[in-house]
Every structure is written in structure tokens, then in C-alpha cells.
Amino acid sequence: MMAGGASASAITTLLQHQRVPPPPSSDAFFLSGSSPFLGPRAMVSFEDAHRGNRLSRPFFRPIDHDENGEDDLEDYFHQPEKKRRLTVEQVQFLEKSFEAENKLEPDRKTQLAKDLGLQPRQVAIWFQNRRARWKTKQLEKDYEALQASYNSLKSDYDALVQERNDLKAEVLNLKDKLLDKGKEKESSELSSKSSQAPFQNPIADSVSEDEVSRVPFPTCRPEDICSVKSDMFDSESPHYTDAGHSSLLEPGDSSYAFEPDQSDLSQDEEDNLSKTLLPACIYPKLEGGDYAVPPANSCNFGFHAEDPAFWSWSY
């Protein structure tokens, strides 16, 4: 934190080149006298000097204005307020002070005001505005970070969708082969055991063709999966568990940020996806809402694409 006392000399050093004509005599009371920050464009308000009077007027006329006699002085005090920017040096010093501490204690405010030749209220206003600007920039940074995170997750998600579609096609293909095998077996058994009840293919009877893609996962036992799965899956893939589904994909709301091909996703799946794909790190707290509670490792989806527990949820 920058002590106010140390600032005066720094300011003097910084601005010893800047000399400003004295203000109108009637204003002298409000000035801190020798401050080198009384730049030509500095403006202070009567408001603080005359408490309660909201009419504000500049203490200083810009240096490029002529100052000729009482008429001008009269005009000066009756002109509507003209806003004047703080000098570069004033702003520099305020910036340094802001970097040290973006909150303004009363003591520091009065010291800064004295050092800079400003009204304390001006210093307070400058800090208010500066905090607002800082917040705006921070929001922009956060937005950019969110955007980058979103793009990354989106591309990951798209890749996974593509992969899932490929796998689904492969499963369909293998199911067709199973059906063919079943029919062959049925015909051979019919010929050899014509007196017995006909073999019933569990898959063919329980799943209609147009619903083949919606076969509930429990009908597909892990060993079945292992037997039909492609070499895509490592047979030593570590953790197939029945609990895998629920632990990875928690129920959630339907605030889904993406607009992917959702034609074959159930609402629950979409919700789960939204939870999985939008972790807390990119979930700023929304007004009146709570943070979503994503899986702890959801930044990488919390699972490997090869994990059967993962790919099973979509079938």
C-alpha cells in the first residue's frame, strides 16, 4: 500500500515541470496551495466545499482560456459546468495508488486529494470509475476464457459424437450378423429337431428393426460386449462397472449450451451431457442460481472414450 505521505514528494518530482497559474482568488480557499497537480484541465466541484449544494462548478479555468477582468470572472462562475479531464500526471499517480490498493480509505483519500490538488470527492469518484473499468476488463477476460474453454469442449464433444456414431454403426452391423447366425441355427435345428419347439432368437424377438438402435443396455451383458466389440476396446480396459453410469452422469437440469445433433439423444442424456461438458470452471455463478455440480474431473469428460461404461450410456 502506498502511503499518502510519501506521495507528495513523488508527485513533486514527477511534476515539477508543470506550473499552473493561480486560480481565481475566490477559489484559493479550496486549494491545497502548492500542489503541482493543478493542471490546466483539472476541475473540482463546489459540492464538497459547500456541502449540500449540488451545483458544481470548476475551480480552474482551462489554461488556454483568457482571464480578463471581472466580467470574465463573472461569466466563469455563472457558466454551466464544463467537465475537464484530470492531467496525465494526476491520472498516473492515481493509477499507482490504485495498483497498490483499489479501495480508498478516508485517510488515503484526503491525502491523495491534497497531494493532487483535487477534492476528496474527485478522488473517490476516480476510484469508483476505475474499479468499474477494472471490472469490465475482468469480465472481458473471463468471457474470452469461457469462449476458449467452450470451443475446446465443443470440439471434443463433436469428436465423441462422431465416434459414437461410428460405434453405433458397427453394433448394428454385428447385430445383423448375429441375426443371420440365429436364423441359420434355427433352420438347422428345425430340420434336425422338427418335433421340438422352435428356437426363439432373443434379439430378433425382443427388438424390432426400427428400434434396434434403442436396445436397452442391460440386454447387452458385458461378456456380450466383449464378444462383439471391435478391437477399438482394449480387453484389459480397467473399470467396467454397473455403477459407472450413475457415478459419471448425474441428473441435472436441462440448461444445455450446445446445439449438436441431438436426434438420438434422450432428454436425460442431453442433460447429462450438459453437466458433463460444462464443468464448474466455466460455469460462473448465475444470478439467483447455483453453480452446477459437475464431476470433479469433468474437464476431460471424466472418462476415456474407450471405457465401456462411457459408451454404453448412449445405447
Applying CB under 7 A, the residues found at the interface with DNA are 43-45, 47, 54, 56, 80-86, 91, 103-104, 106, 121-122, 124-133, 135
- Nearest residue (CB) to DNA, 45 versus 276: 45
Least distance between DNA and beta carbon 248 (Å): 37
Closest distance to DNA from the beta carbon of 80 (Å): 6
Minimum distance, C-beta of residue 132 to DNA, in the bound complex (Å): 5
Query: How near is the Cβ of 145 to DNA at its closest, in Å?
Result: 19
Of 111 and 298, CB closest to DNA: 111
CB 45 within 8 A of CB 56: yes
In whole angstroms, what is the distance from residue 3 CA to residue 88 CA?
Answer: 21
Q: How far is the CB of 289 from DNA (least distance, A)?
A: 17
User: Least distance to DNA from the beta carbon of 108, Å?
Assistant: 10
Nearest-angstrom CA–CA distance, 113 and 194:
106
Closest to DNA by CB, 87 or 272: 87
Dist CA 313 CA 146 (whole Å): 28
CB 276 within 8 A of CB 295: yes
Our CB check for DNA shows the closer of 130 and 304 to be: 130
Q: Which lies closer to DNA via its Cβ, residue 109 or residue 164?
A: 109
Nearest residue (CB) to DNA, 117 versus 279? 117
Backbone angles phi, psi at 205, to 5 degrees: -85, -30
